[in-house]
Amino acid sequence: MVKKERIGIVVSSKTEKTIVVAVQTRYQHAKYGKTLIQTKRYMAHDEANTCKAGDVVLLEESPPISRNKKWKLKEVLKVYEQ
- Per-residue pLDDT tens over the stretch 20-43: 999 999 999 999 999 999 999 999
What is the structure's pLDDT at 1? 80
What is the domain partition of the chain in residue ranges? 5-78
Give yes or no for residue 82 having a pLDDT over 90: no
Q: What is the pTM of this model?
A: 0.91
Contacts of 31 (CB under 8 A, 6+ apart): none
Element (H, E) at 45: strand 35-45
68 within 8 A of 42, measured Cβ to Cβ: no
Q: Which CATH number fits domain 5-78: 2.60.40.420, 1.10.1740.10, 3.40.1670.10, 2.40.50.140?
A: 2.40.50.140
List pLDDT tens digits, range 1-22: 899 999 999 999 999 999 999 9
